[in-house]
Amino acid sequence: MSTPLKDRFLTQILVMFGREPSRPQAVAPAAQKLHEFKRGNRDFIAEKLHARAHATPSHKWRNRRWATLIVANLLFVVSFYLDIQILEGALTASRFVGFHLIDLNSALQVMLAHKHIINNLLIGTGTVLVLWVLLGGRTFCSWVCPYHLLAEWAEKLHLVLVKKKLVSDQTIDRRLRSVFWVIFAVLAAVTGYTVYEAISPTGILSRALIYGPGLALLWVLALLVFEVFFSRRAWCRYACPIGLTYGVVGIISPLRVKYKLEGCFHEGDCRKVCLVPHVLDTVIKGRAVDTEVPIGPDCTRCGLCVDACPTGSLKFDVKGLSKLL
């Protein structure tokens, strides 16, 4: 791995843990030429306006993701009520046709709390780890987590209120998520209790869907109200330890979204729809360090940016495979 590539890789990891993106110091010569070409080029500006005017809205990846998320969670419900033992348990810990599956963050909390490793826990964690390494880590957040779907719908309401100037979107320091991750890990180790699991909206919603609603849903409602009236997607962006855990897994994932500088008109539409817009800092005019840049591990692979891009400059990509096709 070359030094510039190492630097970019390290920068993406640091951004995931909360550091703010900054203008790159080193840019590949080919990318530099494209940046120079785009500055003040009238033909390029005309093409940009034409692309925006003729862009056809697409919800292809959003619809696929919503369908996958709903089906995955309903499979738990159907298995429980029909007692067909296909997918038993809940998202935090389950069995799929007999194979143990343990959410990675939940497994970490349990190991810290109990100070030892249970065999079934190790097997379930290993299975899930391999799965999400292949699928992209935070893909779990946008394609499986039930809170993500509710928060996405709440976000639409928030944006309507912002447009009417009834509320404003308050940003929070993204480093807070790393702080929460450490706090919950320490609490599990010190108290011997998986404290985070008691307040995890992912676990609360999963159990409520399968076994019936409880008072814990009031906490989920409070989070959604906070996001509608105060801070857009606050839990997922600034607090959720699960997202950070799966982001770390995504560091080595071959599945990612890739950005191509040449065709990009820098409209900014992709960043407007992105749950984690800091990962798309590279699409800002003059920021791309190379002609092709894989989006960092904090990306949830939700596909909203792919749908929003009018020129196809953002696409799903499997590392090493695209060159063989």
Would 182 be classed as within a structural domain?
yes
Would 124 be classed as within a structural domain?
no
Tokens of 317: 């990509």
Would 89 be classed as within a structural domain?
no
- The residue range of the domain holding 233 is 1-59+136-319
Q: Report pLDDT for 203.
A: 95
Q: Report pLDDT for 267.
A: 83
The two beta strands, 255-260 and 87-90, are unpaired
pLDDT tens-digit series, residues 236-256 = 999 999 999 999 999 999 999
For residues 275 and 236, the answer to whether their CB atoms sit within 8 Å is: yes
Beta carbons within 8 Å of 291's beta carbon, 6+ residues apart: 28, 30, 31, 34, 260, 261, 262
For residues 203 and 214, the answer to whether their CB atoms sit within 8 Å is: no
Q: Report pLDDT for 8.
A: 78
Query: Does residue 3 have a pLDDT over 50?
Result: no
Domain count, the chain: 1
Give the Cα separation of 166 and 159 in Å (integer).
10
- pLDDT, mean over the chain: 90
pLDDT tens-digit series, residues 10-67 = 889 999 999 999 888 788 999 999 888 888 676 666 666 666 666 677 899 999 999 9
Label residue 150 by pLDDT band (50, 70, 90).
Answer: very high
Give the Cα separation of 180 and 190 in Å (integer).
15
Query: Does residue 2 have a pLDDT over 60?
Result: no
Task: Kindly report the length of the chain.
Answer: 325
Label residue 86 by pLDDT band (50, 70, 90).
Answer: confident
Give the Cα separation of 47 and 64 in Å (integer).
30
What are the distances in angstroms from CA 180 to CA 138, 203, 221, 245?
17, 17, 20, 12
Label residue 324 by pLDDT band (50, 70, 90).
Answer: very low
Instruction: Please name the helix (run of DSSP H) or strand (run of DSSP E) that holds residue 269, with its range, or none.
Output: helix 269-273
